[in-house]
Structure 1
């Protein structure tokens, strides 16, 4: 089952302010993770299956996984470009 993506408007503003390569890397991370977020992420600290990190190219994304609601919430975007 595919997860839903949740973005706070402030997180979306960060995404929108990035150059095209950063937005593309974020899209790749998130689209891959929607089908299987555990397989496409690594633990953030202790592996609780909830707080995870996605990374691709020049970006890292911190997410919260809600397995019951099948939702991925982006909480932070890092860009090294």
Structure 2
């Protein structure tokens, strides 16, 4: 992934760590658990654990 695309995704993931619901979009049904980050050049699917305050990155795609 080019540096600019990687940096944008890194910033978006950092934002998601601080406030996962407002920094992400629902992935499918809005259950507050499966979330996604969409930047200009990437897409990431996240699993948000509310009880332990964790974020697990399930998938990252570079869109080119």
- How well do the aligned residues superpose, as a CA RMSD in angstroms? 0.9
Unmatched segments (≥5 aa) in structure 1: 1-17
From 39, 51, 54, the equivalent of 1:71 is 54
TM-score (norm 2): 0.91
- Extract structure 1 runs of 4+ deviating beyond 6 A: none
Unmatched segments (≥5 aa) in structure 2: none
TM-score (norm 1): 0.74
Structure number with the higher helix fraction is: 1
Instruction: Count residues with an aligned counterpart.
Output: 64
Larger Rg: 1
* Highest RCO, 1 vs 2 (Cα 8 Å, sep ≥ 6): 1
